[in-house]
Amino acid sequence: MEKITLPEIKKLLEEEGISPDELFNIAQLKESPSMQGYIKEVERKAAGGEFLHRERTDKKFEEESEKWKKEKEEKDNKIKELEIKGAKRDATELFATKMKERKLDKKQIDYIEKKQKDFEPEDLDSVDKEVDKFMDSSLEEFKEDAKIFGHKIEKQGDEPKGGSEPGEGGSEEDNEFIPD
């Protein structure tokens, strides 16, 4: 029997159009050292491609997440700003009501109305209490300012709840234009 060489086998297979998988099954082909190297290279490239893809998608996700956080923060700030504007608008009526309840005099009312633009509610659920607190501190400031300018203010109990009836209070000095 004559021995056939490898180049002759390759030439015969090419001439006859026979592929390696027709001669050997998949398991036999996978066991071939050259195929194992090829398979490992393909797996490595696939894993690398998947890693790069995952890296790109993770980066994009982080960018979108930061963008979303920033947009959410801006919207939250805008909502809070609008809620504060609404509370300030509602507080205007509350200030008027409380000034009447406290029976403040004209000067006290003017002073509080002038300072009212500085009112910034912190807790939107208790604007009523904050208005009271703001009015109390404004009336205290009014007393301090009145002292500086030499006006006497009558004390009305423990807390600054307002002025008195028109014509009452004022200076204790005799006024020559007012009959005794």
Please write the tens of the pLDDT for every residue from 50-90. Answer: 777 888 888 899 999 999 999 999 999 998 888 888 877 77
Residue 160 Cα to chain centre, angstroms: 38
Residue 164: the pLDDT is 44
Q: Which two tokens stand for residue 104?
A: 């403040």
Burial (CB count <10 Å: 0-12, 13-18, 19+), residue 119? buried
| 177 has a pLDDT exceeding 60 | no
Q: How far apart are CA 2 and CA 75, in angstroms?
A: 87
Q: In sequence order, which ranges of 19-160 are alpha helices (DSSP H)?
A: 20-23, 26-31, 33-101, 106-115, 127-148
Answer whether 109's CB lies under 8 Å from 99's CB: yes
High-pLDDT (> 70) share of the chain, %:
84
Residue 75: the pLDDT is 94
Q: Which of 68, 64, 118 is nearest to 91 (CA)?
A: 118
- pLDDT tier at 168, thresholds 50, 70, 90: very low
Q: What is the pTM of this model?
A: 0.43
Residue 178: the pLDDT is 54
Q: Which of 95, 167, 96, 108 is nearest to 140 (CA)?
A: 108
Residue 179: the pLDDT is 56
| 157 has a pLDDT exceeding 50 | no
Q: Which residue has the tokens 């009836």?
A: 165
Residue 126: the pLDDT is 78
Q: How far is CA 23 from CA 18, 19, 26, 27, in A?
A: 8, 7, 10, 12
Q: Which two tokens stand for residue 24?
A: 């050997």
- pLDDT tier at 163, thresholds 50, 70, 90: very low
